[in-house]
Structure 1
Amino acid sequence: MKAKTRASRHPVDQVLSPGRLAVYGTQHVLAFYAGAVIVPILLANSIGLSTGQLVHLINADLFTCGIASIIQSVGFWKVGVRLPLLQGVTFTAVSPMIAIGLAAGGGTDGLLVIYGAVLVAGLATFLIAPYFSRLIRFFPPVVTGSVITIIGLALLPVAAGDATGGAGPTSDPTSGKNLAYALGTLALIVAIQRIFKGFLATIAVLVGLVVGTAVAWAFGDAHFGAVSGANWVGVTTPFNFGWPKFSVAAIISMIVVMLITAVETTGDVFATGEIVEKRIGREDIARALRADGLATTIGGVFNSFPYTCFAENVGLVRLTRVKSRWVVAAAGGIMILLGLVPKAGAVVAGVPHPVLGGAALAMFATVAVVGFQTLAKVDFHDHRNVVIVATSVGLAMYVTAQPQISQAVPGWAEIIFGSGITLGSLTAIGLNLLFHHVGKDFGPAVAGQPGDTIRLDQVNEMSRAEFVATFSDLFQGPTWMVERAWEMRPFADTHALRRSFQEALFSGSKDEQRELIESYPQLGSQFVADGLSGEASLRDQAARGLTYLSEPDRDELASITAAYRERFGFPLVISVRDAESFDRIVEQGRVRLGNCENQEHAAALLEIAKIAGYRFDDFLQDANPIHSARTRWSSSR
């Protein structure tokens, strides 16, 4: 019984051996470290904190990151999504916190006002989590796919910045050495993924970082001098800088930050759900946001900042295919130790930026790939979805490529225009509301000609007779399949409409299916070439030249089809658009002559389903000629 329980456990819930947890957890920490410490560094430099105060902020940040990650991955009560999601300080909060700190006079005084706003915003996020999660219906694949893609693409410049040596004076895009470290690390990760399987393949990023750092150290480009000067123990105490101060304006600003962060967290949760193959529901989003709120409140107590799911590590989960949430819990434990042992943190900080950037290029790009996979579920025959994705991704890349754009907008809008992820996510959500939830939803055009198209909402309102008259050309002969498809209304999108015909086809009795198979014309016959079996059949067979065969080819095909009918009693049905050539059609016919009748009955149905699929695409192409032409042009390049 115990063995069965383990076998049925979802990969997310599997507890790995202590050794593997330690190795995989370390890999997450190394991939995460640079992003984890950049926020306190930027804030400290901007509001005038001392070096000693900065060190304390970094230790507090790592310590709280560890607690937050354990809360999110392990969970308790209704807190924590229980997925392999690492928590980190959100970049969205950097600009607002700097503004709050400077407005309060900078230094420690400014920091205390920041912590007051962080505490209240964290509590507010915790309380509004269940209400925000009810908005999940406004996050269909067109939104979540766009957001996930944007997250991956927007993070790539961060990786590229690290690959050139990091921000500031260390950055040198023209350095061949930096290029070698970055590409060498990336190449090693790819090579390990290609050559090895199992455990070694899953720690490819860790191996790349360790080997890359070792090579850089050998050449004198990795420095660990800070290790000797760091303390062995450094405990962060609650309210180390003093009791927080509360400002209404600062609190409102930070709550807005957390609302925007909630959108990013929602995207990260959906992305991770896609990767680990676990369905995400409303309660999952509520749990994740409660964890964000609680972690942010803890951050305010322990001298840290607002927390969110870290998109950087989502890519690592996809790249390594290690789905256990306990790996992230282990990473959380390691970060707590790093926060308590500054000397250990100094070792991790010694990883050169170009090495880290090379690994990050692979990780962040895989986040975008998850977005592409989600967008594959979107009905792009509906032009509204094309507009949503194109506009949101375009604006996100605009701000990402030109970050100074935020200086051209009023102060209250800087929080939105300061992040490509934020602007793109809000655009995707807003356009989805505008196109799909405001006013009447007509749906995509699914049939007809320009100027006289039939849209999905009209299909859902059709009578049985109207539906059969519209879609009967998908099949030959009888219409029972189309009639049964009509009974499956309403259709949410063109994918659902397409599936209804397939389901109806395979629901028929054997006699009904036999009648349908017998209705299909002979391949390469003059009857089809003259258009007497219908325009759809002519279009099918003309696609592979069967309507203008040479006499020897026509005789050869006629010989095979005649032998097939004599053997099975029904015509040879082949989806000729799937065939690469006439020779492949002939070869397939000869092979199928050796099958039994039941097998050929099933094979004929499968071929009919393929033919119907192509004819359905013809309907969509005729109704959406501009979109179809653009799609064909793009795919042919």
Structure 2
Amino acid sequence: MRKDIHPVDERLPLGQTFLYGLQHVLAMYAGAVAVPLILANALGLDTKQLIYLINADLFTCGIATLIQTMGPCKIGSKLPIIQGVTFAAVTPMIMIGKNGGLTDIYGAVIAAGLVVFLIAPYFSRLIRFFPPVVTGSVITIIGISLLPVAVRWAGGGNPAAKDFGDVSSLLLALLVLAIVILFYRCFTGFLRNISVLLGLIVGTIIAAALGETNFSAIGNAAWVGVTTPFSFGFPTFNVSAVAAMILVMLVVMTETTGDFIAVGEIVDKEIDKETLTRGLRADGFSTFLGGIFNAFPYTAFAQNIGLISLTNVKSRFVVAASGCILVALGLFPKLAALIASIPAPVLGGAGLAMFGMVAANGIKTLSKVDFNGNYNVLVVGISLAMGLIPTAMPNFYSHLTGALQVIFDSGITVGSLTAIILNAILNNNAVTEKKADVNGQPLPTK
């Protein structure tokens, strides 16, 4: 690699780029298709409609990833960030869909995407409220909040199932985790960097040999599935639905800011106001496209942050390759069915390594913060406590309604807002300057 090229802008050989990109897709695939599955079940859609939603989601997810990584027309952060459907929008979309159908959902998604695009330059000014003490807290919360996802995968995927957490699932997940660690420890260079991919492949082969893998969906899937705009009808714009979705996206913008900062820490690239503006614009534009192509609101996918840290492959062109693969999966359902055949415990074993690395990077950032003679311990402690409440007790805020439920159901959002507010109040001079020293202390005012 040339010394004058940042690792984010490094172009790797085509074969390596494809395999690294595929590794990212395998890491996020289950999360990417979860939203259409939940929505279709809640709204009583038939199997044909569900398959179409999944294809549309994967196709638009790929387009959104390409926009975010390549940054055309000042839209996109040009960072190695893969885009996926935000889970924060699931409950509001179900409520909207039950009252007004899919056309109301897509109208709200289109309107919210336009709002995000327009307010991105103003929202990005919040970047000055993210000194290292806040950044480290947010990254740690992101990692710990993701771990339950890996645990559910490791147990079989569905906690309500009778065989959830059975010995075979746990052993398979631990075996895949061990394989990932073994490859990472014993190999160097390219093979070490695809340790997660190798773990997923070997784990799937073992699961197939044990009869734990079902490939029947591949034969039943169509060869080609083309996503066309407004397939479920032209969007309708219900005022209350639009307002609810805008609120969701404001919450998502806070989460996205934390994700951008987390990636910036890992790839050693400063996330300034301009970069954040471009990244948020990509979220808004991709969400707008989601409403047109029968898909959903899109945002940075936190699941893949740990993979960047684990492999140390920082090139945005690798994630752009993931976008191309996702587009292909959306156009060719048989490929999507093949990826979907990976057993949940196999994903769980890899997820434990990836998501744990996100939390470790947060701790690494906090290690640079000075905790003497200030209120940083309190900022970190309270923000972690607030951020992990939804993770430890998912029904804790079940009696809240409307805007409060949208905000408090997201541990990442609650933790981020808590860290920002406490730091601004307790370390009130920490937000008066845009830059801080290596210990997270504000530089003196000139």
Q: Same fold (TM over 0.5)?
A: yes
1:435, distance to aligned residue in structure 2 (A): 2.1
Structure 1: give runs of 5+ residues left out of the alignment: 105-109, 444-490, 501-637
1:85 paired to 2:81: yes
The corresponding residue for 2:226 is 235
Deviations 1:60-96 (A, max 9, x none): 0000010000100111121111111000001111111
Q: Is the 8 A contact 1:234 1:342 kept in 2?
A: yes
The corresponding residue for 1:608 is none
1-structure distance, mates of 2:330, 2:384: 37
1-structure distance, mates of 2:304, 2:113: 22
Cα distance change, pair 42–492 in 1 and its aligned pair in 2 (3 A):
closer
Instruction: Give the match's secondary structure for 2:188.
Output: coil
Deviations 1:488-537 (A, max 9, x none): xxx9779599x99xxxxxxxxxxxxxxxxxxxxxxxxxxxxxxxxxxxxx
1:383, distance to aligned residue in structure 2 (A): 4.2
1:331 paired to 2:327: no
Matches within 5 A, 1:262-281: 262-281=253-272
Cα distance change, pair 433–250 in 1 and its aligned pair in 2 (3 A):
farther
The corresponding residue for 1:94 is 90
Matches within 5 A, 1:44-63: 44-63=40-59
2-structure distance, mates of 1:286, 1:311: 18
User: Which structure is higher in RCO with an 8 Å CA cutoff and minimum separation 6?
Assistant: 2
List 4+ stretches of structure 1 deviating above 6 A: 491-494
Q: Is the 8 A contact 1:164 1:171 kept in 2?
A: no
Q: Kindly, what percent of the aligned residue pairs are identical?
A: 56
* Amino acid aligned to 2:89: A
The corresponding residue for 1:195 is 186
2-structure distance, mates of 1:174, 1:300: 37
Matches within 5 A, 1:143-182: 143-167=134-158, 169-170=160-161, 172-182=163-173
The corresponding residue for 1:286 is 277
The corresponding residue for 1:519 is none
2-structure distance, mates of 1:15, 1:117: 38
Instruction: Give the match's secondary structure for 1:356.
Output: helix
1:432, distance to aligned residue in structure 2 (A): 2.2
1:116 paired to 2:107: yes
1-structure distance, mates of 2:436, 2:81: 32
TM-score, structure 1 as length reference = 0.67
Please tell me whether Structure 1 or Structure 2 has the larger radius of gyration of its CA atoms: 1
Match of 1:65 among 36, 61, 68: 61
The corresponding residue for 1:76 is 72
2-structure distance, mates of 1:494, 1:396: 25
Matches within 5 A, 1:352-371: 352-371=343-362
Cα distance change, pair 283–194 in 1 and its aligned pair in 2 (3 A):
same
Q: Is the 8 A contact 2:153 2:344 kept in 1?
A: yes
Q: Is the 8 A contact 1:165 1:171 kept in 2?
A: no
Instruction: Give the match's secondary structure for 2:84.
Output: strand
The corresponding residue for 1:251 is 242
Instruction: Give the match's secondary structure for 1:408.
Output: coil
* Amino acid aligned to 1:20: Q
The corresponding residue for 1:33 is 29
The corresponding residue for 2:306 is 315
TM-score, structure 2 as length reference = 0.95
1:9 paired to 2:9: no
* Amino acid aligned to 1:254: M
* Amino acid aligned to 2:137: S
Match of 1:348 among 313, 324, 339: 339
Instruction: Give the match's secondary structure for 2:225.
Output: coil
2-structure distance, mates of 1:310, 1:171: 30
The corresponding residue for 1:391 is 382
The corresponding residue for 1:527 is none
* Amino acid aligned to 2:31: G
Q: RMSD of the TM alignment (CA)?
A: 2.0
Deviations 1:336-366 (A, max 9, x none): 0000000110000000000001100100111
Structure 2: give runs of 5+ residues left out of the alignment: none
Q: Is the 8 A contact 2:369 2:440 kept in 1?
A: no
2-structure distance, mates of 1:115, 1:99: 13
2-structure distance, mates of 1:67, 1:138: 31
